[in-house]
Each structure stands twice: as structure tokens, then as C-alpha cells.
Chains A and B, each alone.
Chain A
Amino acid sequence: MNLFRDDKWPQQRLIGASFVIGLAILVFTGVTACQSIAQLIKSADRRAHTHQVIITTHNLLIDLLNAQTGQRGYIITGNERYLEPFEIGTQQVGQDAKKLRELTQANPRRQQRLDRLDPLVAAKLDDIRAAIELRKKQGFEIAAQHVVTMEGKKMMDNIRKILDEVESEEYVLLEERDNQTKATAKRTTHIIIFGSFLAFVLVALASFLTNRDIVKRGQAEERFRLVVEAAPNAMVMVDQNRKMTLVNQQAETLFGYHRQELIGQEIEMLIPERSRPKHPAYVKGFFQEPTLRSMGAGRDLFGLKKDGTEIPIEIGLNPLRTPGGLSALASIIDITGRKKAENLIRESNFRLDAANQELEAFSYSVSHDLRAPLRHIDGFVGLLRKNGASSLDDESRRYLNTIAASAKQMGLLIDDLLSFSRMGRQELQKTKLNIEQLVQETVENLNEDTKDKNVSWKIGSFPQVYGDPAMLKQVFINLLGNALKYSRNRPVVQIEVGCTENKEEVVFFVKDNGAGFDIQYAEKLFGVFQRLHSHEEFEGTGIGLANVRRIVQRHGGRTWAEGVVDGGATFYFSLPR
């Protein structure tokens, strides 16, 4: 359960995409709207232009009519005052025509039309002027007659027709433009509506997702808080300014503070004063290389409780990326109990070492001091034998021999005991072993003593094992030596050394065709000073197999044996892989 990385990746992408697309739509809508407005403005201009054209055409007509009216008036009254409107009208007409031409400059067809118009206008004006001249010069009758001939009217009608054409054309164009504008406006409206709707949807989606994200985050934080609170260890979260931002119940209990006393304070508040100077540097180092690790490797760490006592602690540090930045989450364990146990072990070890040293001294003593009297016994018996050679009878000599033999036996026992004790105390030095070599060397050593004997050695092959070479050699010396010793009454001595393996251990065996033993007493074989034969039958102290067992046990293995009385024996020992 990852509290802070809950599927955020695709989510964020989605939110981002929504916002971006929404914005794009808005931008597009805006641009479209602007375009539409521009078009509306252009349309309005066009309208104005159209009106101007229409007005101008009307003006032209009016001016023409004015001129005509003036002419008529003059013709009728002969009053020169009526020539004013005519003059003005004529002038205006010229201007109007010019204006008309200007306004329709862009349109060649219109210009063509105007081309037709101009001469007509000119002709009309001439006609009007002509009538005026007639009046002026020839009087009313002649002038009236001129007017009656409908020429003037016809001209006027033609002019009107053209002007109407111009006008209607303008209206047509206007309507076209209006329709275009309407269409555009409609489209724009659709775009705005649809776009806004879409944008709205996307924004809604984005904000929904964002909200959900926020809620999830809030939940995640809540879960985090709960987890930290419920943790069995004291937890303290520290920001990069070394201020504590979060502590849990256990932390309060461990250090004896209420969390209000801790939040916002520097972490150094919880460590002994002597450790405070170096601590900020450690914190800095951690944030520079934030990895999950245990703090203060190799150092003893202590925490400082509110009441001033110190407790030994162990701290694990975990870097956390929070929205506010990098934090360190420290998990703190009170190791007072463990320290006590460690101390106990240390003390125990001291005592063990002391005991071992005592034992060492004891052995030394034994080896030196116990042997001396034995030497003396044997020595003086020897002297006695020499001195009293003549005066001693057989029985006395036998007694002396017994004494000497006993002393010798005791010497052997002491040696064996010492070696047995040493085997127990010595460091086990485990290395890779070449068992074949060990066995070979042992066989060669033993062959020195059995040069005259007919011994058939059958030695198998051995896998790689680990153990103390000196000790395991001793094992083989004992086992092979025994095999030889207890077989010496056979004409042909057959001794086999081999092994079997399984997944967990290697089992070695030494098999002989010697005196064997009663399986009933098998367990006694490995006891200290335990023997199954008397000294007359076979010499020995009974410590060899005890030594073997001790050594093998120290290697983690087992020892056991099988035998048949007078049917040979097989001794086994195992070494773990």
C-alpha cells in the first residue's frame, strides 16, 4: 500500500490534459468570437457604405431634379433667381457623380454602369441648360415647347433607371453581406455554445479529478498518520530544518513529552547535550544522501528523556518525500533490554575466558607436576632392579615390574587426559580439507609401526569438507590406530576407509576385520576411559574414541559404531556440509 504514489501518474496526466484542452477550446472560442466581431464590424461598415451609395444616388437625383426645377422655374417666370438652384444643382451633380465613382471604385461593373450614367447626366444637364438658353434668348413659348417634347423626361427616366440599378445592386450586395454575417454569427454562436459547453465539461472533469486527488491525498495522509501513530516503535519525523513535524504515541511515551512540546522543536531536544554539537552535520549529511539506513553505525546512541535520564536507543532512518519537501522518518527503539543482555553475555564471556585460563593453568600444572612423582617411581624402581639384581627373587622382580608398568600407565593416562582437555578448549580452525591427504599421512605414520604386518588398506575417495585439519587428523589417527590395534591378531589385516554422502552431511567410516565388539555395549565405546577389552587383551587408556567423539561433536557431526564380536567393526562419523 503506497500511500503517496497511488496511481498518480495517469491521473495527473488526465487532469493536465483536461485543463489544456479546456484552455485550448476557450482560446479557440475566443479567437472565433473575435473573428466574428471583426466580421460584424466589417459588415456594419459595409452597411454604412451601402447607405452612403444609396444616399449619394438619391442626392444625385435630387440635385438633378433641383436643377430641373430651377430650369422650369426660370422658364416659367423668367426670373433669374431660379437659375441659382440650377447652378448649384449642376455643381452638386458633378460632385455626387464623382463621389459615386469614388464609393464604387472597387467594383468594375459598377464603374461600367457609371460610365453609362455620366454621359446621360451630362446630356441631361445640357438639355436643361439648352432650355434655359432658349428662354433667355427666345422667350417662354419656345422654351416651353422644348420642355414639352418628352426628351427631357426620357433622359431623366434613363438616369433614374441606372440609379435604381445601382441602388438595387447595393441592396442585393447588402443582403448578401448580411446573410454572410448572419451565417457567420450563427456559426460563431454555435461554436461558442458548444465550445463553452465542452470547456465547461472538461473543467468540471478536471476539477472533479483534482478534487478526488486531493481527497485521496488527504486520505493517504490520514492513513499515514494512523500507521505512524499505531507503530510499535517511537516514530519521529524531521524536516530539513531539523524540526520535528510528526511524533507518535510511542515517541511521547518513550521520551516523556506531550507532542505539543515536541512539534516544531529541533530534534536535538531529544539527544544528550554532549551529542548535540555534531548532530546537525549528521542530519545535513543524511539529507544530502537520503537512503534508508540505520543511524550511527558502530556508535552507541542515546536518547534524552524529559526527566533528564538517558536511554540507549537504536535508530532507523527513512527518507520521505512529502509535498513540503524531503523529510526523515526516524524509527526509534529502546534497546535498554538488549544492552543488558549484551552486557550479560559479555560478562559471561569474561567468566568463560577466565575459566578457560584457569583450566589452562591447571593443565600446565598437571602436565608438569603430576609427571614428576611418576618419573621418580619408575626411576627408583629401575635403580632398585639394578641394585638388587642379585638379591631379588622372581616374585619381587615381578612386583617391581608391576610398579613400573603402573607408573607408565598413569603417565599415559595423564597424557591422554591432557590432550582430551586441550581438544575441548582449542579454537576450531575450519578450512577446506583434503581428507585423502589426511588419511594417507595417517596410514604412512601407522605403517612405520606395522612394517612387519600384512596390512591391506582400502582407501576411497572423499568430497570437499570443511574442518580443523589437526583435530580431524587426530580422529583418523585414533580410528585407524584402533583398527590396526584390534586387528593385529589377524593374519591379514584388512582396513577400509571410505565415505557416503547425502545432501546434509558426509559420513566417513573405518572398517576393520579385527576383534570387533558386542553391539550391546556400543554406547560405552565413546565414553571417557571406557573400554570393552581388558588391558591384557589390548592396551590403551580408553580415551581415543572419547576424543574422536568430542572432536566430531565440535564440528557438528555424530559418531557411532557397529560391530560383531570377533567379526570386525566399523566406526562411523559424520561431518555436516
Chain B
Amino acid sequence: MDELKSILYAEDNAKDVELTLAALAEINLANEVVVVRDGAEALDYLYARGKFQMRSKGDPAVILLDLKMPKVDGLEVLKTVKTDPNLKNIPVVMLTSSREERDVVDSYRLGINAYVVKPVVFQEFIKAVRELGSFWAVINEPPPGTVRKKKG
């Protein structure tokens, strides 16, 4: 029985969600995305608690994080994930509009796997997402424990 691979996407801004999903749709990854609206929900999902108690087991193939979110922000989620032995293998990609050096430094210090700045120009964004998806979902060998959906 193959588990559904998922992309966990944490983003508080609905418009950004819509645009990202649209971009992901371009590369047929939209169905795999689990969207949460803040860091707390992201953690709830990862620990399969709260409203995600009933979710199917298995870790997401990759976590897409925005930096600025209410309650628990991107860096905090990142920190939690990377310090938890059970979660730290999951690749985390910061997907944010901030190019501030401080943010990049902090993210990498906490163990981010990739830092992508969302370009203003949508076409560019689509290109970036495509390449992201291509890398993480196709080329990259996921950490053990992540089951791949059989290509069909």
C-alpha cells in the first residue's frame, strides 16, 4: 500500500497560497500539497495532533515554509523540526519574499535545506517552483521513511 507523498506548505496569506498552488499545478504537484495557515498548524500536522490527529501516517517529502506567520513563525517551525530527531531529516525549504541577510543567515544556522526568495514577477515564480518541484520531488532521493507515490 503506497502512502501519498505530501508537501507540507505553511503560509498565512491566502493570495500567496493561491498563487503557489497555481504554480505547483503547472507541474502537477498541486494534489500533493497540504496547506496550513500558520506555524502552529504546521507542527500539529507534523506531530499528527490537534485537527490532524486522523491524518494518514508518514512524513511529508518536503516542507515549504513562509517566514512570517502568526502564532508560530517559520524560523520556530524550522528549529523544532531540525532539533527533533524524528523530524530533522525532512527537507525544509524557506519560501519567502524576504531577502534580508539576517533571515537567510538565521535560516541556514537553524538548518534550512533551501532558501527561495519569491520573485515579484509571477512568471519567474512559476519557473522557480517548477525547478523546486523538479528537484525535491523528482531528482532528489528522499530520506528513508518517505514513501514515494508510484508514478502513474
A interface with B by C-beta (< 8 Å): 363-364, 367-369, 371-372, 374-376, 378-383, 404, 407-408, 411
5 closest Cβ contacts across the A-B interface? Answer: A382-B122, A411-B120, A379-B19, A379-B122, A376-B15
Partner of B19, one of A363, A368, A383, A407: A383
Decide if B97 touches A372 in the complex (CB within 8 Å).
yes
Given contacts A375-B122, A383-B122, A408-B120, 4 further A-B contacts (CB under 8 A): A379-B122, A380-B15, A404-B121, A407-B121
A371 to B120, Cβ gap below 8 A?
Answer: yes
**How close is A359's CB to chain B, nearest CB, in angstroms?**
13
Shortest B5–chain A CB gap in Å is 26
Q: Which B residues touch A379, using CB under 8 A? A: 15, 18-19, 22, 122, 125
Instruction: For the complex formed, measure the closest distance between the CB of A333 and the CB atoms of chain B, giving whole angstroms.
Output: 46
B151 at the binding interface (Cβ < 8 Å): no
**Stretch in B29-37, B47-55, B98-106, B135-143 with 4+ CB within 8 Å of A:** B98-106
Are B67 and A368 touching (Cβ within 8 A)? Answer: yes
Give Cα A372 to B17, complex, Å.
Answer: 12
Q: Which of B13, B18, B68, B120 has the most CB of A within 10 A?
A: B120
- Chain A contacts for B15, CB-based, 8 A: 372, 376, 379-380
Which chain A residues lie closer than 8 Å to B119 at the CB level?
A: 375
10 A-B residue contacts at CB 8 Å? A364-B98, A371-B118, A372-B16, A375-B122, A378-B121, A378-B122, A382-B122, A383-B18, A407-B121, A408-B121
Contact check, B100 vs A367: say whether CB atoms are below 8 A apart: yes
Give complex CA distance A37, B66 in Å: 127
Of all chain B residues, the one with the shortest Cβ separation from A382 is B122
A407 to B96 alpha-carbon distance, docked (Å):
18
Q: Can you list, as one digit per residue, whether each of B37-61 has a CB less than 8 Å from chain A (1) or not (0)?
A: 0000000000000000000000000
Which B residues are in CB contact (< 8 Å) with A371?
97, 118, 120
Grouping DSSP codes into helix (H, G, I), strand (E, B) and loop, the A interface class, with mixed when no group exceeds half, is helix
Question: Complex: how many Å from CA A59 to CA B116?
Answer: 156
Task: Evaluate contact between B97 and A375: CB separation under 8 angstroms.
Answer: yes
Give CA–CA (A367, B120) in the complex, Å. Answer: 12
CB contact between A368 and one of B98, B121, B125, B126 (< 8 Å): that residue? B98
A-B residue pair count with CB separations less than 8 angstroms = 63
- Known contacts A380-B15, A380-B19, A375 near B68 by CB under 8 Å: no
Q: Which of A368, A369, A379, A411 has the most CB of B within 10 A?
A: A379
Query: Number of contacting residues on B, CB 8 A?
Result: 22
Given A375-B97, A407-B120; A364-B19 close (CB under 8 Å):
no
Pair B100/A368 contact, Cβ less than 8 Å: yes
Contacts of B68 in A (CB 8 A): 368-369
Q: Which residues of chain B have C-beta atoms less than 8 A from A372's C-beta?
A: 13, 15-16, 97
- B70 to nearest A CB, angstroms? 14
List B residues 106-152 near A (Cβ within 8 Å).
118-123, 125-126
Contacts of B97 in A (CB 8 A): 367-368, 371-372, 375
Query: What are the residues of chain B within 8 A of A380 when measuring CB–CB?
Result: 15, 18-19
A381 in contact with B98 (CB, 8 Å): no
Alpha-carbon gap, A363 to B99, bound state (A): 11
Q: Which single residue of chain A is at the shortest CB-CB distance from B120? A: A411
Min Cβ gap A407→B in Å is 6
CA distance A376 to B122 in the complex (A): 8
A374 to B126, CA, bound (A): 15
Q: Across the interface, do A376 and B16 meet the contact criterion of CB distance under 8 Å?
A: yes
Of all chain B residues, the one with the shortest Cβ separation from A373 is B15
Choose among A364, A374, A375 the residue that contacts B102 (Cβ–Cβ < 8 A): A364
Instruction: Please tell me if the beta carbons of B19 and A375 are within 8 angstroms of each other in the complex.
Output: yes
Q: Of all chain B residues, which has the CB nearest A370? A: B97
CB–CB A374/B120 < 8 A: yes
**In whole angstroms, how far apart are the Cα atoms of A431 and B118 in the complex?**
35
Task: Tell me the minimal C-beta distance from B111 to chain A in angstroms.
Answer: 22
State how many angstroms separate the Cβ of A116 from the closest Cβ of chain B: 143
In the complex formed, the residue of A with least CB distance to B123 is A382
Cβ distance A356 to chain B, nearest Cβ, rounded Å? 14
Q: Which chain A residues lie closer than 8 Å to B118 at the CB level? A: 371, 375
Question: In the assembled complex, how far is the CB of residue A203 from the closest CB belonging to chain B, in whole angstroms?
Answer: 92
Instruction: Report A508 CB to chain B, min CB distance, Å.
Output: 28
Cα A496 to Cα B110 in complex, Å, equals 47
Asked whether, in the complex, the Cβ of B120 is within 8 Å of the Cβ of A375, the reply is yes
A382 to B98, CA, bound (A): 22
- For B16, what are the chain A residues with a Cβ–Cβ distance below 8 Å? 372, 375-376
Name the residue of chain B whose CB is nearest to the CB of A408: B121
Are A378 and B120 neighbours in the complex by a CB distance under 8 Å?
yes
CA distance A374 to B120 in the complex (A): 6
Tell me the nearest residue of chain B to A381, going by C-beta. B122
Give Cα A365 to B102, complex, Å. 13
**B120 to chain A: which residues have CB within 8 Å?**
371, 374-375, 378, 407-408, 411
Determine the chain B residues whose CB is within 8 A of the CB of A383 once the complex forms. 18-19, 22, 122
Complex CA–CA separation, A376 to B97 (angstroms): 11
User: Is A375's CB under 8 angstroms from B22's CB?
Assistant: no
Most interface-central of A368, A380, A383, A404 (chain B CB within 10 A): A368
A363 to chain B: closest residue by CB: B100
In angstroms, Cα B111 to Cα A373, docked, is 29
